[in-house]
Chain A
């Protein structure tokens, strides 16, 4: 009886082991059969083949779900001949809890940017909930002065972590708009205080990183408007508040709207060369030694948008803007808004893109590629009108 029990136990043990082995084999086969999710494999280190180092595009990668699409976007940027991208790195995405950083998404984007040989200018902003808990009303753009040190600590941590890839950080976006300033009263003095808080902390953490300020929205909003402040007035007040000591490069947004790229600038006109008026203010405050980075510019060819131009004009003006930028040594890069978006808007913003969401290359992409690669320049982009009858 005892022998039978022992044999039975032994049999059961071998029996179970056999079944375990079978299950393991089935599992392995299933693993092989399961389709692999798309993986973005970095196979080699690329360099940008370009004759025009000032060509830059603003990307929108941080909300892209698939890593393969991040990789493909950056491949296309490199193949077009752009040396530089501006990318948004929202604070709230990376420090959801105070002091606890999650850099996964940033690591992914910057790993691919590095692999493509691209320079990255990081735009910083977007306040996490915990940093605006005390505000009676807040949006993701509301940054109370009490939270400036928290923001400075985050930017410094970012700059230190990516000091080998990211050499420039833009402090905030379009602070002269109430929308972008969290619907607080637009205040150059508060923004100057933010720069004064952030600058030394970033420099201490990553001395080689350049701090970009401004990125003001071009606007002719009248004095006292609750919506925005004229960018020229804002910059003047920024200097008056002593901000000149707390940035290295001025970031500028300068859209062409319906005007040609080379149209003359004037204080009461919004056009591409408005950047010259901002430059004049810099020079008048003794900042001529600093450079300007145009971190957003472009034209839109949506026929339903009030500020839209014809498709041919969009390409022509963009190329002329780059040619104009070449001739000004106080300009660093000029970045077209926007390379591609993760999802279409089905409205005029889609007509700022150079590549569609599903990676169709628009004509402006081909035109910029030819320009950046300095292929034999065309005498004209298009044929003359046929002789009319």
Chain B
């Protein structure tokens, strides 16, 4: 027979245990202040893995590294209050370098790859090098269906041709105009030889730098996003880099770097 007195007694016995449990949980899961970047990085140095053979993102000019990714790494390091130290690595070894802790981060025009997310954590993308459908400003292509009846210039043998072939099958009377180089496809459009062209975003931006008065219409048709990568278990570092990158977007640094290099 359970009497009220016995219940009170049992409650009194359990109460201290409950208090102890709550206290432990509080300590275990209480929000803690994030470690500072300098505490996350040995000697306050951000070791940056980079493939220096991919202009305009990174290249080696007489022993000096330059490019969008180089400037981005410096800007990130500044935000973090540390110094960027570059480790030049061939593209195929970049992921191994960050996974084995040879570098803290890879900033090297890495295309976000879902298959790698067991090993690395990507930051937000900082550039999209997907395909862009380009057309004259006075006759802009606002959707791919507008291609009907137009000529389409592209780089022969490339991803752009693969995309163009899809449209050739699905959209009426698109006329293919293959060129050896993507710049020739843009020449064809600019000179009125072709009525549209498909190229990568980087190619288009670099071409427009050479022809600043030409302002064609642009329609992004595929995505190929570049992001930095940190080893998957270095969550605090990733968060610090992510915050710094957000700040660089907010204060206009990323836009300024894009304008400088692309």
Contact = CB atoms under 8 A, between A and B. Distances in A.
Contacts of B179: 382-383, 385
Contact of B155 (A304, A311, A346, A388): A311
Contacts of A315: 156-157
Interface string A336-364: 00000000101110000000000011111
A35 B188 CA distance: 52
Interface string A296-333: 00000101111000111111100000000000000000
A304 B113 contact: no
Contacts of A387: 191
Contacts of B165: 361, 363, 366
Contact of A348 (B92, B111, B162, B177): B92
Interface in B155-191: 155-159, 161-162, 165, 177-181, 184, 187-188, 191
A383 B111 CA distance: 31
B116 to A, nearest CB: 7
B113 A382 contact: no
A60 to B, nearest CB: 17
A377 interface: no
A121 to B, nearest CB: 27
A311 B157 contact: yes
Nearest to A345: B115
A381 interface: yes
A362 B164 CA distance: 11
Given A385-B180, A386-B188, A304 B157 contact: no
Nearest to B184: A385
B177 A385 contact: no
Interface string B52-75: 011000000000000000000000
B195 interface: no
Contacts of B181: 310, 312, 385
Given A306-B90, A310-B181, A386 B157 contact: no
B187 A304 contact: no
Q: Which of A316, A366, A386 has most chain B Cβ within 10 Å? A: A386
Contacts of B187: 385-386, 388
A233 B159 CA distance: 40
Contacts of A385: 179-181, 184, 187
B155 A312 contact: yes
B193 interface: yes
Contacts, number: 79
Contacts of B184: 383, 385-386
Contact of B156 (A305, A311, A360): A311
Interface centre among A303, A314, A363, A364 (most CB of B within 10 A): A363
B93 to A, nearest CB: 10
A379 interface: no
B189 to A, nearest CB: 9
B104 interface: no
A389 interface: yes
B91 interface: yes
Contacts of A306: 53, 90
A367 interface: yes
Contact of A304 (B91, B158, B177, B178): B91
A322 to B, nearest CB: 15
Contact of B180 (A347, A360, A382): A382
B157 A346 contact: no
B178 A383 contact: yes
B157 A312 contact: yes
Contacts of B193: 386
Please name the 6 residue pairs, one residue from A and one from B, whose CB atoms are nearest each other, closest first.
A311-B157, A311-B158, A382-B156, A304-B91, A315-B157, A312-B156
Interface of B: 51, 53-54, 90-92, 111, 113, 115-116, 155-159, 161-162, 165, 177-181, 184, 187-188, 191, 193
Given A312-B158, A387-B191, 14 more contacts: A301-B157, A301-B158, A311-B161, A312-B156, A312-B181, A346-B113, A347-B91, A361-B162, A382-B156, A383-B184, A386-B184, A386-B188, A388-B187, A389-B191
23 contacts: A301-B157, A304-B51, A304-B91, A306-B53, A306-B90, A310-B155, A311-B159, A312-B156, A312-B180, A312-B181, A313-B157, A314-B157, A346-B111, A346-B116, A348-B92, A362-B162, A363-B161, A383-B184, A385-B181, A385-B184, A386-B184, A386-B187, A386-B191
